[in-house]
Structures are given as structure tokens and as C-alpha cells.
Amino acid sequence: MASRVVVTGMGVICSIGNNLQEFEINLRDGKSGLKEIQADRFDVSDPYFRSHQGCAIDQELYRRIFDKDVSMLGEISIKAIEEAIATANLDLSKTDPRKIGLCLGTSVGGSYPFMEWIKDKIAGREPNIDLLTYSTPNITSMIARQFGIRGPLSTISTACASGTNSIGRAFDLIRNNRVDYMIAGGVDVFTYLTFSGFNSLFALSKGACRPFDKTRDGLNLGDASAYAILESYESAKRRNAPIYAEVGGYSIVNEAYHATAPHPEGIFARQAMQNALAMAGSTTHDVDYINAHGTATPANDKMEMKAIEALMGEDEVFVSSTKSMIGHSLGAAGSVEFVATALGIYKGFIPPSINVSENIITRENIKLVKEKGIDYPISLALSNSFGFSGNMASVAIKRFN
């Protein structure tokens, strides 16, 4: 018999908060995490770059983590996971380590060591970085060793859908009673490689990104590490754990359309949302809020709004993109947005899209929350992640009853 899956703990580090409390305050206030990229991170002075900004984590924290782990991914994940475990009131020492799993989503994780290795090779030096040590599967294993986890480990890299697919993988394992607890989430820290890559695609905004605005011109890259503790309702009830939300359903589809461009009609984005709702036993009438993928690129936002309009019909729904505040954290995007949505459900608020002057939405039943969060008792929300190569994922998150 399938188990109900609940969220009992969460942890986050991103440009607008080094913990869950800071994250909530700044989400509600519509605070932007956008800042100038520091020269000691990488040089963006070349006029080739469309932008000199990103939604970076606190510079002091960045240096502290970087000094311990040049890939960043392991240390920044450990900090977010520690908060998730603490908020779940979970004592791992009293838990069978074979019944705890870990799932990590990342897109281009570990690219900094790779870049340094290439630089050494080009300069004729013998690289002093072991790439195997900083490979993402090895980082997942290192995190598991840190917490004594002996259950299933997964490293998922499905572009910008990685974080959501990590949550989905954990959901499947708990739902099917394969493990007692899953630590699931995503992590990515933008580097010169990712910044240059998105710049070459003309996908970076020249200023602050503006999801669903008529003048949108691209995204802002962001740093993030976000994780959640998932377990069955029976387990949470037995140990009197806090329950932030229930994961009702999840879906991933692939549109097999283009390497970097979405299908312009949003057919498969709509399918992902429909599938997640169906698994949750819900309909569009139940949906109060959609945390959109909302990258602020011309193609994505147009496609996604078509998908939302087709999905919702005449039913009313609130929409926003938290990427307007925290940037696009690539493989971590789905997990940090999952945490934002679950937090909104638990605390009764909808986070906003900021920087919007004239939005592209014309349907009165689809309401864009702008500039400041609003208090609202969300019963059910969808969180979307649509990645390169057609990876389309959506997760249905419910208020726990």
C-alpha cells in the first residue's frame, strides 16, 4: 500500500538567506539577491559579458566554504542538510542508517575544479586537482559518509529540473515504502563556465531579471543549496515530527523538441502539471498557486504561460516566479523553489515576482503576485522546473490535513 509522503524538515542557503528564517522574511518582502560579482570569484570586466551581476550567496560565507571545498557543493550541501535535519527534529543516531537515503540534484556541479584543471593543462602545468574527488557522484557519497547514510544514494543531473527530480525520486522511494527517510534536494553554485555559457546563449539579463514582464531580456544566475526531509505520514506521526506540507504527486516528461529551446506551445509543460495533479488525486479547481519555472527569458515565459492557461481553463490561480529574487540556480532551482512553496503553504503566504512593470498575463483568472508576498491559505500548489533537452518536471504540494 502506498504511503502518504510528508515534508518534516527543510534547510536552505541562497542569495536571500543563509537559513530558513532569513529566507522566509526576504521571500515575503520581495528582496532581491542580485549583486555585483566580486573579482575574487571570477572576472566579468570583459565587454563580451552582457551582465556583471548574479544572485550570489553572502561573500564571507562563500570564501569560508570555498577555503574548505573548492567545488563548493559538498560543504554548502552539508550546511543546508544540517538545518533540514534540525528542523525535522530527526536524530540520525537513533535511526537505521540503511533506511535513510540521499538524493542530490545538480546541473553543472563541480565545474570550478574542472576549470582549474583545464587552466593548468593549458599552461603546461601538472594539475594538482583530482577531478574524481570533485565529481558529483563522489560528492554525494562524501555527504552520505558525513551523515552516516547507508541507504540508496542518487545523483541526478537533468539540467534545470534536477532539484525537482531529486524530490520526485525521494517521493517515489518513501511512497513505495523502500526507506524510512529521504534527504533530497539540489545544489549549484554558478562559475565562470556557467556564466560564460549562458552569456553566449544571450540568456543573461542586462539588469535584474523580470519574469513575465513584457520587457524581460533574460535570467540572473544564482547560488543555492536546498534540501528537505521526506518521510511517511505514519513515521512522522509516530515520532511527533513537525509536518510542513504533504507531497501529493510528481511528474517528469520529456518533450524531445530541442536542446535549449522549449516547445513554444507548452504542450509537455502542461502535461507535467496535469500528471502531478492526477497523482495527487486533485484537479485544477484545487490549485491555489503555481511557483512557475519563470526564468524571464522571452521563450520560456511565453511558453509557460500558454501551458498554465491551457491547464487552468477558467479556474483561478496565483502565479509567481521566485527566480526574480533568488536567480536561476540551475540544478538547485527546483529544490529551493520546492522549499519556498512548502514554506508558503506552512506559513500561509505566496511569495512574489519582483521587477514587474507590465506583465504579459492577459487572463483575469491568472493572477501574478507582484513585488510583495501576500497572506493566503494555500491548499495545493504546483512547483515547476523545465530544463534544457526537454526535461519538464512538476510537483504537487498540499497543505497537510
- Catalytic residue IDs: 160, 293, 328
Angle at 76 between CA 355 and CA 194, to 5 degrees: 55
CA distances from 279 to 6, 199, 242, 348 (A): 15, 38, 24, 24
Beta strand 245-254 with 5-14 is antiparallel
Strand ranges of the sheet holding 317-320, from the earlier edge strand across to the other edge: 153-156, 100-105, 181-188, 224-232, 5-14, 245-254, 391-398, 380-387, 289-291, 317-320, 366-368
Distance between CA 52 and CA 350 in Å, rounded?
30
Whether the Cβ atoms of residue 335 and residue 81 lie closer than 8 Å to each other: no
The CA-to-CA distance between both ends of the chain, in Å, stands at 20
Cell numbers describing residue 89: 527534529
Cell 541507504: give the residue: 151
Whether the Cβ atoms of residue 349 and residue 26 lie closer than 8 Å to each other: no
Cell 552582457: give the residue: 50
Cell 543555492: give the residue: 224
For the chain, counts of helices (H) and of strands (E): 12, 15
Q: Which residues of 132-147 are buried (b: 16+ CB within 10 A; e: fewer)?
A: eebbbebbbbbbbeeb
